[in-house]
A and B are shown apart, each in its own frame.
Chain A
Amino acid sequence: MLKMDAVQKQLLQEVAELHDIPEGAYNLRANGESVGRNSTANIEIIGKTDKSGIDIKIKDGTKNESVHIPVVLSESGLKETVYNDFYVGENCDVLIVAGCGIDNCGTQDSEHDGIHRFFVGKNSKVRYVEKHYGSGNGTGKRVLNPVTEVYQEENSVVDMEMVQIKGVDNTDRKTIAELKAGAKLNVRERLMTHGEQQAFSTYSVSLNGDGSSADVVSRSVARDNSYQKLDLCVNGNAACSGHTECDSIIMDSGRILAVPSLEANSVDAALVHEAAIGKIAGEQLIKLMTLGLTEAEAEEQIINGFLK
């Protein structure tokens, strides 16, 4: 942590809500290199030898422990692809906090592509929080292209919270999940784009085992001239239940293409999708204005609540 400057510490605060070295297992990466790592008795973090990235191995029965693996980039023009693999044993209950903050004050594009794979053992519960944040007033773009792959064994539960609220110019997010019998996946994605930003988010969830279920909900706001494409697909290949929802607010000249899709390959698959795009309802603004807010303040409150 001593190697990190003020900008990097600010980024760390934004993406991982960390002021200092976290408790438990962690790997802190700044400008392309590891600046701190800690393994615990139950959670081992090992650097990969063939490519950039780490393996995180969580022992069977590990409960109430956490892993933090934030990444910060404050050097303009830095581009990196990092492979992180999480092997979660059986009967675990853990919190994994990832995330990337880029501060680009220069003219060259900065890019971090994190490829995360999760192998979640039987009966394990994982809560995964991933936040992306960009800052800096340089002309160089801040680019994040995360890939998340989740492989869930029987009766495992994965709750994912994916947040990208500010400052990332381009993002192409891909999430793939495969679930065995009784496994559950809950995704809450929150996305806000502004300026000339572009964001693509693709989910492909395969419910392969009987009793598996997925609930994939994306809430997004596109402001200014930004563009978003949200592609949420659930494949029901067994007696399963799946739900996808894209709920979006457009403002200014923002544009959104929402493509929720379902594929049922089993007669016992119960799948539902919902999609709604629209501007902020006039009556919502009026209600908050009757409580004393200006129109702009009302708009901010509605957006903040929507993305909370």
Chain B
Amino acid sequence: MLELKNITFSADDSGKTSDIIRGISLMIPDDKFIVITGPNGGGKSTLAKIIAGIIKPTDGRLIFNGTDITDMSITERARSGIGFAFQQPVRFKGLTVLDLLRIAAGKNLSVSDACTYLSEVGLCAKDYIRREVNASLSGGELKRIEIATVMARNVKLAVFDEPEAGIDLWSFNNLIRIFENMRKAEQSRTVVVISHQERLLKIADEIIVLSDGQLIKQGPAEDILPEIMSSNYAQTICPKIED
């Protein structure tokens, strides 16, 4: 279980302090599929990076399975069981898909096991296992490999930042199946996905709505989803500039 206690994050914006996350407190329970949604610029990706340790919060504490992880490094958090898939995956010259999966697994993963992860994300392992994770891969291919690296880790909490971005519609059903399998595979594992996709929202156990750096709603999907669909949470309000 992950508990966020009054998390705030402010960034310097051309000499002016901009509040990105404004005192968010919430609980992410075990064994759930949770979707964080909300308008662009609402703080979703920042919050995911705060969970992974990539961004340090300005204030507040994070408690993961009873341990205060606020001051832990990215590496320590990863080793404590937190996995993170980037919205825009990183390219590496020279490192192959197999290398990356082996690093993720933390062991000399067999080619056969590595192939299983690639097949899961809809890539033909034969074509990809020896390929470099470089600019020759398309955005969609990279995205799937990124998801496979998180699958290869035995994490308790997996956070995916907009995994559907760049994934074609044909593969979308596959993506949904991946998240379902990930959660079923390990008891007490929680999968957190940042997404705007209605189909992902529909299969969530819980939905968290963030807007303007604040927690707007959290609850079961069957309660939250109808509210989202009929509200203006997802609409960015552009206030009229007054003289």
Instruction: Give the B-binding residues of A (Cβ under 8 A).
Output: 219, 247, 281, 283-284, 286-295, 301-302, 304-308
What mask results when residues 40 to 69 of chain B are scored 1 for a CB within 8 Å of chain A, else 0? 000000000000101000000000000000
Q: A286, B93: Cβ atoms under 8 Å?
A: no
A244 to B90, CA, bound (A): 25
A290-B74 contact given A301-B99, A305-B99, CB 8 Å threshold? yes
Q: A305, B93: Cβ atoms under 8 Å?
A: yes
Instruction: Please name 12 pairs of A and B residues whose Cβ atoms are closer than 8 Å in the assembled complex, sorted by A.
Output: A247-B93, A286-B74, A290-B83, A291-B100, A293-B75, A293-B103, A301-B99, A302-B94, A305-B93, A305-B95, A305-B99, A307-B94
B167 interface hit (Cβ, 8 Å): no
Instruction: Known pairs A292-B104, A292-B106; list 5 more (Cβ under 8 Å).
Output: A283-B90, A286-B54, A291-B78, A301-B99, A305-B92
Q: B90, A291: Cβ atoms under 8 Å?
A: no
Q: B94, A284: Cβ atoms under 8 Å?
A: no
A305 to B93, CA, bound (A): 7
Look across to chain B and name the residue whose beta carbon is closest to the beta carbon of A303.
Answer: B94
What residues on B are CB-neighbors of A308 within 8 Å?
94
Interface of B is mostly: mixed
What residues on A are CB-neighbors of B83 within 8 Å?
290
B153 interface hit (Cβ, 8 Å): yes
A308 to B93, CA, bound (A): 10
A170 to B166, CA, bound (A): 48
B25 to chain A, nearest CB (A): 24
Q: A301, B78: Cβ atoms under 8 Å?
A: no
Q: A291, B54: Cβ atoms under 8 Å?
A: no
Interface of A is mostly: helix
- How large, as a class, is the contact surface on chain B? 20 to 34
Q: B73, A284: Cβ atoms under 8 Å?
A: no
The one of A219, A292, A305 in contact with B75, judged by C-beta atoms closer than 8 angstroms, is A292
The one of B75, B89, B100 in contact with A294, judged by C-beta atoms closer than 8 angstroms, is B75
B149 interface hit (Cβ, 8 Å): yes
Q: B79, A302: Cβ atoms under 8 Å?
A: no
B84 interface hit (Cβ, 8 Å): yes
Look across to chain B and name the residue whose beta carbon is closest to the beta carbon of A301.
Answer: B103
Look across to chain B and name the residue whose beta carbon is closest to the beta carbon of A290.
Answer: B84
Q: B94, A306: Cβ atoms under 8 Å?
A: yes
B128 interface hit (Cβ, 8 Å): no
A291-B104 contact given A286-B54, A286-B74, A305-B99, CB 8 Å threshold? yes
Q: A292, B78: Cβ atoms under 8 Å?
A: yes
A305 to B133, CA, bound (A): 10
B233 interface hit (Cβ, 8 Å): no
What mask results when residues 69 to 107 of chain B are scored 1 for a CB within 8 Å of chain A, else 0? 000011100110001101001101111100110011010
Look across to chain B and name the residue whose beta carbon is closest to the beta carbon of A281.
Answer: B90
Q: Which 7 A-B pairs have the closest CB atoms?
A: A305-B94, A305-B95, A289-B74, A292-B78, A306-B94, A287-B90, A290-B84
A63 to B94, CA, bound (A): 31
What residues on A are CB-neighbors of B95 within 8 Å?
301-302, 305
Q: A292, B73: Cβ atoms under 8 Å?
A: no
A302 to B100, CA, bound (A): 10
A26 to B93, CA, bound (A): 35
| Residue from B74, B78, B95, B96 with most neighbouring chain A CB atoms (10 Å) | B74
A288 to B100, CA, bound (A): 8
B198 to chain A, nearest CB (A): 28
A173 to B90, CA, bound (A): 34
What residues on A are CB-neighbors of B92 within 8 Å?
284, 302, 305
Look across to chain A and name the residue whose beta carbon is closest to the beta carbon of B84.
Answer: A290
Q: B79, A292: Cβ atoms under 8 Å?
A: yes
B35 to chain A, nearest CB (A): 21
A294 to B90, CA, bound (A): 17
A308 to B95, CA, bound (A): 8
What residues on B are CB-neighbors of A302 within 8 Å?
92, 94-95
Q: A295, B90: Cβ atoms under 8 Å?
A: no
What residues on B are CB-neighbors of A219 within 8 Å?
93-94
A247 to B92, CA, bound (A): 13
What residues on A are CB-neighbors of B84 within 8 Å?
290
A214 to chain B, nearest CB (A): 21
A288-B93 contact given A293-B75, A294-B75, CB 8 Å threshold? no
What residues on A are CB-neighbors of B99 within 8 Å?
301, 305
Look across to chain A and name the residue whose beta carbon is closest to the beta carbon of B86.
Answer: A287
What residues on B are CB-neighbors of A286 within 8 Å?
54, 74, 90
Q: A284, B75: Cβ atoms under 8 Å?
A: no
Q: A295, B93: Cβ atoms under 8 Å?
A: no
A40 to chain B, nearest CB (A): 33
Look across to chain A and name the residue whose beta carbon is closest to the beta carbon of B104.
Answer: A291
Q: Give the residues from 7 to 60 in chain B that come closer than 8 angstroms, CB to CB, to chain A.
A: 52, 54
Look across to chain A and name the residue whose beta carbon is closest to the beta carbon of B152.
Answer: A291
Look across to chain A and name the residue whose beta carbon is closest to the beta carbon of B105.
Answer: A291
A291 to B75, CA, bound (A): 7
B45 to chain A, nearest CB (A): 14
What residues on B are CB-neighbors of A292 within 8 Å?
75, 78-79, 103-104, 106, 153
